[in-house]
Amino acid sequence: MAQPTKRILPPLLEESTFDKVLDKLSEIVGEPNASRNHLYGNLEGPQGQNCYDDLWPLGNPTDHTPSGAVRPKTVNEIQRVLQIANEYKLPLWTVSRGRNLGYGGSGAIVPGSVILDLHRMNKIIEVNEELAYAIVEPGVSFFDLYEYIQDRGYRLWPSCPALGWGSIVGNTLDRGFGYTPNGEHAEQQCGMEVVLATGEVLRTGMGALSGSPMWALYKGGYGPSVDGLFYQSNLGVVTKIGIHLTPAPACFMDCVVSVPNEEDIGALVRIMSALEREGIVQNHASIANPYRQALSSEDPLVIGRAVGPGIKGGYATNADMTKLAKEQGWGYWKAHFAIYGASGAFIDACWTIVQERFAAIPGAAATAERHEHKLGGRLNAADLPMGEIPHTGYPRLTAKDFVDIRGAKGGHIAFSPLFPPDGKQLQEWFARIRPLVEKAGFDLFSDFHIFGRYIIGIVLVVYTPAEAARAKSLFDELLKDGVERSSVSEYRTHIHFMDEVRRHYDWGNGILHRTLGSIKKTLDPNGILSQGKSGIWTSSRPLTEAIGNTRL
C-alpha cells in the first residue's frame, strides 16, 4: 500500500490544534497507546502491516486513511476520549481489533478520522459452562476465548469464523458468522454494554436491571429492545456483549455432500436449507465451487493449476476448473456441514435422513467422519481433527494466505448478497454473474453459506494492488446487477460502498434510513462516532464533502 507523502489531518482541524488534541488523548491512555499518525500502533496485519488504514485500497490510496489512533483500556478512558472528541468535533472511527479486512479493515469513511481502537479491552468477564455463555470485551479474539475454555477444561465449543484472530464483539456486531450450531452470532448475542457519544453508559436487556443475573440469559428485557440499533452501527461504542455458546456434544459428525453439476446448486441449497429448518442439520452449510475446492487441496499441482493463471495476470476459467473437478472426482459444488448430538443413535438417524434426501440429486455423494466419546462424556474439540471448516469451533488462520494467490501484497473484497433458500434465484444469479467475473479477468471464488431461511452468496474477489481499479469496477457491476435484476443487495459491505448499499434499501422513500439518521442526530449531535458507517450520517451533507484541509 502506497503511503501518503503529506500528513493526514482530521477534517476542519488545523495541525496545531490536532497536535493539542493528541496531547490530551495521550494524557488519557498513555503516550504508547496513542498514534500521532496512522503508520504505527495497529495489530500486525496479514502481510506484516502495523498501520491503520484500508490495507487494500480500491481507489485513491488515502480515501480512507485515518490521521492517528487512540487505544483505551477501560470504559472510563473511552468516556474521557469522547469528551475530548465532542469538544473539538473530532471524528472517530471505532474498531474492535481491526480484522474486518475484506470490508475496509481499520480504514475510515471520513479520511482523517482518529481510530478508536478497542483491542486493549481484552477481558473475558465470565464464562459459564453450565449455562453455556460468555461475556467478553471487544479486544477478545476467537483464539482468546477458545484458549480460555481449553485451559479450564470447560466442555464448550465457542463458534469461530474462518479466521480466528478477529474480535468476537466486532464480528457479532457486523452480523458475522461461525460454524457451530450457535454460529449465527447476532442471534446468539444476549446483553450489551454501550458507551454513547455523550459518555453515558447503557446496558441493554436485563442489564438495565441492577444486579440481575439474567443479563446474558434473556435478551428481551422490559419494553422496547435496542440491541439491534448497535449492529453495523455508529450510534455508540459497544464495550461488552454476552454471547451464547454450544455445549460440547457427546457425538459429532463432520459431513460433506458433493453434487456433480453447476446447475445442481438450486437443488443442493433447497434440500440443505430444509434439513437445517427441520433441525436434522444443526449448523449452517458452506458451499464451495471448484476453484475454492482447489485452494484447499493438498496436491501442489492442483493448487498450481488453480492459481497459476492469476499469478500471470490472467484467471482460472470456469471451464478449466469444471474439468479439474471431474478429473479429481469432485462435484462442482461441495457442501460442508455437521451433525451434533447427545447420542450415537441420534446422529446416525440424522445422517440417514441426510443421505436419503440428497439421493434425489443424480450423482450426489455424501460422506461423513464420525466421532463419539467412548466413555459417554463430552467431546473435546482439541482431541478431534481440525477439519477443513471449524465445525468444532477450533480457530485457525490458514485462510489468510488466500490474499496472495494472485501475487504478493494482494487483497480481497467480498460481495455478500442475500437470497431466499429455495435456490432458484441463487442459481439464476450465479449463471449471470459468472461471466461478469471472468470478463473482468478475476478467478471465480464462490463461498456460499446456506442457513435455514436465507443464503449468503459470497463471491470473493482477490486482487493485487495493480488490479484494484478493475476489482472496484467489477464490484460496482455486481452491485448494480444484483439490485436491478434480482432486487438483492448485500447484508454488509466494504466501507467504500456503504452509501451506495444504503441507497438500495429504499422502500417507503427511504424511511428506514431517515429514521436512523434522526436517531443518529439525537444520540451523536456532533457527529463524532464513525460518520458514514452503514450510510448513516449526523448531517445531511456528508463530511467527506468538506475535507479541504485534511492534507497539508
Q: Which three cell numbers stand for residue 433?
A: 454473474
State the residue range of the domain holding 277.
Answer: 251-379+397-496
Q: CATH code at 225?
A: 3.30.465.10
Domain presence at residue 111: yes
51 and 131: one domain?
Answer: no
Which residue shows C-alpha cell 494492488? 465
- In-domain check, residue 389: no
Is pLDDT of 78 > 50? yes
Residue in 335, 172, 159 with CA at minimum distance from that of residue 248: 159
Strands 251-259 and 333-341: antiparallel
How confident is residue 47, by pLDDT bands cut at 50, 70 and 90? Answer: confident
pLDDT band at 547; cut points 50, 70, 90? very low
Same domain for 329 and 476? yes
Complete DSSP assignment for 503-526:
HH--HHHHHHHHHHHHHHHHH-TT
- pLDDT recorded at residue 540: 58
Q: Assign residue 259 a region: left if phi > 0, alpha if psi is -120 to 50, beta otherwise?
A: beta
| pLDDT of res. 408 | 87
Are the beta carbons of 24 and 34 closer than 8 angstroms? no
pLDDT of residue 399: 86
Q: Which neighbouring-strand residues pair with 247?
A: 156
Task: Tell me if 323 is assigned to some domain.
Answer: yes
Give CA–CA dist 548/552, Å, rounded: 10
Domain end, chosen from 247, 269, 285, is at: 247
Mean pLDDT, to the nearest integer, of 377-392?
A: 96
Q: Which residue has the cell 435422513?
A: 353
Q: How far apart are CA 377 and CA 538, in angstroms?
A: 54
**Taking 70 as the threshold, does the pLDDT of residue 147 lie above it?**
yes
Compute the distance between CA of residue 210 and CA of residue 82 in angstroms, rounded to an integer.
Answer: 25
The predicted structure's pLDDT at residue 69: 98
Please check whether residue 282 lies inside any domain of the structure. Answer: yes
Position 387 in a domain: no
Q: Are 75 and 192 found together in one domain?
A: no
What single-letter DSSP state applies at residue 378? Answer: P
Contact 85, 28 (CB under 8 A): no
CB 456 within 8 A of CB 449: yes
First to last CA, the chain: 20
Confidence bin at 4 (pLDDT 50/70/90): low
Strands 189-195, 114-117: pairing is unpaired
pLDDT of residue 545: 52
- Are residues 439 and 401 part of one domain? yes
The residue-averaged pLDDT of 502-530 equals 96
Instruction: Convert the pLDDT of each residue in 12-31 to its tens digit.
Output: 999 999 999 999 999 999 99
In a domain, residue 385? The reply is no
Closest CA to 532 of 505, 504, 494: 494
Return the H-helix or E-strand segment holding 436: helix 424-439
**Residues facing residue 259 across a β-bridge:** 333
Going by C-beta distance under 8 Å and a sequence separation of 6 or more, which residues neighbour residue 452? Answer: 273, 276, 277, 284, 421
229 and 323 belong to one structural domain: no
The answer to whether position 319 is within a domain reads yes
Residue 290 has pLDDT above 50, yes or no: yes
pLDDT beyond 80 at 510 = yes
Contact 361, 355 (CB under 8 A): no
Q: Total structural domains in the chain? A: 3
Q: pLDDT-based confidence at 402, cuts 50/70/90?
A: confident
> What is the amino acid identity at position 146?
Y
Cell of 308: 497459476
Both 226 and 109 in a single domain?
no
CATH number (domain holding residue 40): 3.30.43.10
* pLDDT tens per residue across span 454-473: 999 999 999 999 999 999 99
CA 297 from centre of chain: 24
Residue whose C-alpha cell reads 485462510 in the numeric block: 399
Q: What is the mean pLDDT of residues 243-257?
A: 98
Considering the domain architecture, whether residues 418 and 521 belong to the same structural domain is answered as: no
Residue 81 located in a structural domain: yes
Q: Which residues, including other chains, have CB under 8 Å from residue 173's CB and lie 6 or more apart?
A: 96, 186, 230, 231, 232, 233, 238, 241
Average pLDDT of span 193-204: 98
pLDDT of 385 strictly over 50: yes
Mark whether 102 and 134 lie in a shared domain. no
Domain boundary among 247, 276, 301: 247
Separation of alpha carbons 492 and 418, rounded Å? 10
- pLDDT of 1 reads 53
Interval 372-385 mean pLDDT: 94
The neighbouring-strand residues paired with 241 are: 136, 192
500-523: burial string, b at 16+ Cβ within 10 Å, e else? bbbebeeeeeeeebeebbeebeeb
The Cα angle at residue 482 between residues 478 and 483, in degrees rounded to 5: 125
Q: Tell me the three cell numbers of residue 94.
A: 471505532
Residues 273 and 333 in one domain: yes
What value, to the nearest 5°, has the Cα angle with vertex 230 and ends 225 and 236?
A: 115
- Domain closes at, from 230, 247, 264: 247
User: What pLDDT is recorded for position 45?
Assistant: 86
**Cα–chain center distance at 262:** 27
Residue 552 has pLDDT above 50, yes or no: no
**CA dist., res. 291 & res. 319, Å (int):** 11
Q: What is the mean pLDDT of residues 100-120?
A: 96
Residue 392 in this model has a pLDDT that exceeds 60: yes
Q: What percentage of the chain exceeds 90 in pLDDT?
A: 92
Is pLDDT above 60 for 126?
Answer: yes
Domain CATH code at residue 319: 3.40.462.10
pLDDT at 3 over 80: no
Does 175 lie in the same domain as 281? no
Nearest to 172 by CA among 93, 248, 241, 95: 241
CA distance linking residue 243 with residue 145, whole number of Å: 11
Average pLDDT, integer, range 345-367: 98
**Per-residue pLDDT at 75:** 98
Average pLDDT of the chain to the nearest whole number: 95
DSSP class per residue in 463-492: E-GGGHHHHHHHHHHHHHHIIIII---BSS
**473 and 541 share one domain:** no
The verdict on 293 and 322 lying in the same domain is yes
